Amino acid sequence: MSKPPRIGILALQGDVREHHDALTKAGADVVLIRRPSELDQIDGIVIPGGESTTMSKLLVILDLLDPLRKALAAGLPAYGSCAGMIMLASDILDTRPDAQHLDALDITVRRNAFGRQVASFETDLELEGIAGGPVRAVFIRAPWVESTGEGVQVLGTVPDGPAAGRVVAVREGNVLATSFHPEVTGDLRVHEYFAAMVRSAR
């Protein structure tokens, strides 16, 4: 039996505990990442939901921004949910001019695209590569993907309502991102999908 993948969670801010629980149940060996040296000890990383501008400031303060960018550019598998999607993007709309990002996904995202906290909602959507029927998707001040580069695969779109057709799940190589929060639903399929990506990359 192969060793479980060691997956780090960027533990600066946001819903770290929920991702920790989901990844552990999905069979990963989970560690929390707060220092550059810890990046050498992992097979993949999760960038959790939270507040993307706060996260970007903390990455700079803790000297993590450049080491994490380099690790991702060198092929470290990554999964970002909500603010994590924003952090992984190459271009961000409606953000602060001094906000930093990780340039790991060739996508343009719009922050708070669905509206403020009061416009949070849930829906069921089909995700390419995820078997077993629709995934319950929880959107909280969520971004959406405005445009994707050539190598980006669209895995899921909003099925109905005013935002029908908006792209909310993507993958490019070893990097996965969702606008929504699978870590809060108890459905482990997205985390299992990412753990399988990390195993394949390893």
- What are 183's two structure tokens? 């870590």
For residue 70, is it within any domain?
yes
Q: Which domain holds residue 85?
A: 6-201
Instruction: Provide the number of structural domains found in the chain.
Output: 1
Task: Please report, for the domain that includes residue 191, its CATH number.
Answer: 3.40.50.880
Other CB atoms within 10 A of residue 196 CB:
14
| Predicted confidence (pLDDT) per residue in 8-46, tens digit | 999 999 899 999 999 999 999 999 999 999 999 999 999
> Is-catalytic flag, 51?
no
- Report the percentage of the chain scoring pLDDT > 90: 79
Q: Is beta strand 167-172 parallel, antiparallel or unpaired with respect to 175-178?
A: antiparallel
pLDDT tens-place string over residues 108-144: 999 888 766 546 789 999 999 999 999 999 998 899 9
Report if residue 192 sits inside a domain.
yes
Burial letters for 149-188: b for 16+ Cβ neighbours within 10 Å, e otherwise?
eeebeebbbbeeeebeebbbbbbbbbbbbbbbbbbbbebb
List the catalytic residue out of 82, 101, 172, 191: 82
Q: Higher model confidence: residue 168 or residue 120?
A: 168
Residue 107 covered by a domain: yes
CA 196 – CA 202 distance, rounded (Å) = 10
Of 202 and 44, the one with more pLDDT = 44
Q: Nearest-CA neighbor of 170 among 194, 150, 151, 154?
A: 154
Catalytic annotation, pick one of 19, 20, 101, 181: 181
The answer to the question of residue 132 being in a domain is: yes
User: pLDDT for 45-92, tens place per residue?
Assistant: 999 988 888 999 999 999 999 999 999 999 999 999 999 999 999 999
- Active site annotation includes 82: yes
Q: Which of 18, 101, 183, 191 is catalytic?
A: 183
pLDDT value at residue 189: 98
Residue 26 main-chain phi, psi, to 5 deg = -80, 5
Q: Is 172 a catalytic residue?
A: no
pLDDT confidence of residue 94: 81
Go through the chain and tell me how many residues it has. 202
pLDDT at 158 over 90: yes
Residue 86 φ/ψ region, left for φ over 0, alpha for ψ in the -120 to 50 degree band, beta for the rest: alpha
Quick check: is 127 in a domain? yes
Residue 1 counted as domain residue = no
| Residue 69: how many other CB atoms lie within 10 Å | 16
State the pTM of this model.
0.95
Distance CA 34, CA 66 (A): 13
- Residues 183 and 49: their CA atoms lie apart, in Å, by 9
Tokens of 190: 């997205």
**What pairs with residue 177 in β-bridges?**
80, 170
pLDDT band at residue 1 under the 50/70/90 scheme: low
